[in-house]
Amino acid sequence: LAYDMAERHEPLLPSSAFACHMDLPRARDAGLDGAVLGIVVTPRKVRPEQLWALKIHGKIEAGVGIDQTLETLDLLQSIAERHDDAIVHVRNAADLDQALETGRFAALAGLEGAHGIEGSLDNLRKAWQRGLRMLGLVHFQANAAASPMTAPGFDGEGLTDFGIGLLAELERLGIVIDIAHLNRAGVDDVLERVQRPFVVSHSACHGVHATPRNLSDAQIWAIAERGGVLGLAVGRSFLGPGGIDAFVAHAEHARKVGGEELVAIGSDWDGAIIPVRGLEDVGGLPHLTHALLDAGWKTDAVRKLLGGNALRVLREVLG
């Protein structure tokens, strides 16, 4: 949510690096009917001039934690209201189905990291009231709830007491739990405690490309067993060498380990990534469809990856 998604944008840098990967016009051209739009909150107080990504749109003031979260949720709501013939800010399963039935874009708000609620369940409820419907427990830095897999010295620390309480409140409110970035001990805590399906919004398979952000086969299997969804990212750091063929290789591996009900697209577009060739922006989705079919995927399995699996989880959790 760094710019007005209702307007068409062009890549800022060569190789479509870092940003401007998706907007509503290009999504519509590619046949994309909806997406979870990630809110990234600065982990500490910064000067306004440092918020370069947020200043692209020019509507968000410098903030920290819950203030920035709420301001960004309000931004999405204002965009949806200005373009109510084209966008639905989805808050429940009925909104989701209505958007799909009427041909409008289903926009769901997600938050990357519980630091965006500042260790407060009251703040979580405020964000829910403003439309937050997915929450990643952690981003790049440890917070009051959890520690990331990339934080040295935090590998063995699971969820905090606040993090365990947060899980219960997320399930009560109907907010999808996202374990992307979460360390192994935290994943184990989630598997032990949650009742509903959850997601890994953007990751890939360690068995195909060995990098700390990717999931082991054991983790993939455990997520599938709980009815969860693994969103495969399109960044080179996740997929490794290659282009669309690399995405297909990860999809094949994830399906082999966890079944075809597991796999989804978790692009991480506009997430400061460098996409692989052929998936430089949302316009690459039709090419991905053809690549999967050419690799021998049945039509039903392709439909599940392109949205069916994610819709199943969203409908169950949002209620």
86 in any annotated domain: yes
- Three state DSSP letters for the chain: CCCCCCCCCCCCCHHHCCCCCCCHHHHHHHCCCEEEEEEECCCCCCCHHHCHHHHCCCCCCCCCCHHHHHHHHHHHHHHHHHCCCCEEECCCHHHHHHHHHHCCEEEEEEEECHHHHCCCHHHHHHHHHCCEEEEECCCCCCCCCCCECCCCCCCCCCCCHHHHHHHHHHHHHCCEEECCCECHHHHHHHHHHCCCCCEEEEECECCCCCCCCCECHHHHHHHHHCCCEEEECCEHHHHCCCEHHHHHHHHHHHHHHHCCCCEEECCCCCCCCCECECCCCHHHHHHHHHHHHHCCCCHHHHHHHHHHHHHHHHHHHHC
Which pLDDT tens digit goes with each residue over 135-194? Answer: 999 987 889 999 988 755 556 689 999 999 999 999 999 999 999 989 999 999 999 999
CATH of the domain at 257: 3.20.20.140
Burial bucket for residue 152 (CB in 10 Å: 0-12, 13-18, 19+):
exposed
Within a domain: 5: no
- Residue 42 burial class via C-beta count within 10 angstroms: exposed 0-12, middle 13-18, buried 19 and up: middle
- Beta-carbon count within 10 A of 153 CB: 8
- pLDDT: is 18 or 238 the higher one? 238
Residue 107, domain member (yes or no): yes
Q: How many domains does the chain have?
A: 1
Per residue in 260-300, pLDDT (tens digit) is 999 999 876 565 667 888 887 887 889 999 999 999 999 99
Which residues, at least 6 apart from 169, have a Cβ–Cβ distance to it below 8 Å? 121, 124, 125
- Residue 167 backbone phi and psi in degrees, to 5: -55, -45
User: C-alpha angle 18/34/13, rounded to 5°?
Assistant: 15
Q: Which long-range contacts (CB under 8 A, 24 or more apart) does 54-62 make?
A: 54/2, 56/2, 56/3, 56/19, 57/2, 57/3, 57/4
Is 9 a member of any domain?
A: no
Residue 56 has pLDDT above 70, yes or no: no
pLDDT at residue 22 in the model: 73
**C-alpha to C-alpha distances, 318 to 128, 236, 265, 295, nearest whole angstrom:** 11, 32, 19, 34
238 against 307, higher pLDDT: 307
Task: Assess if residue 98 is contained within a domain.
Answer: yes
**Residue 271 belongs to a domain:** yes
Express each pLDDT in 225-252 by its tens digit: 999 999 998 888 888 999 999 999 999 9
Asked, for residue 254, whether it belongs to a domain, the answer is: yes
pLDDT over threshold 80, residue 47? no
Banded model confidence at residue 59, pLDDT cuts 50, 70, 90: very low
pLDDT at res. 61: 37
Asked whether residue 7 is assigned to any structural domain, the reply reads no
User: Which carries the bigger pLDDT value, residue 44 or residue 22?
Assistant: 22
Q: What range defines the domain where residue 162 resides?
A: 14-318
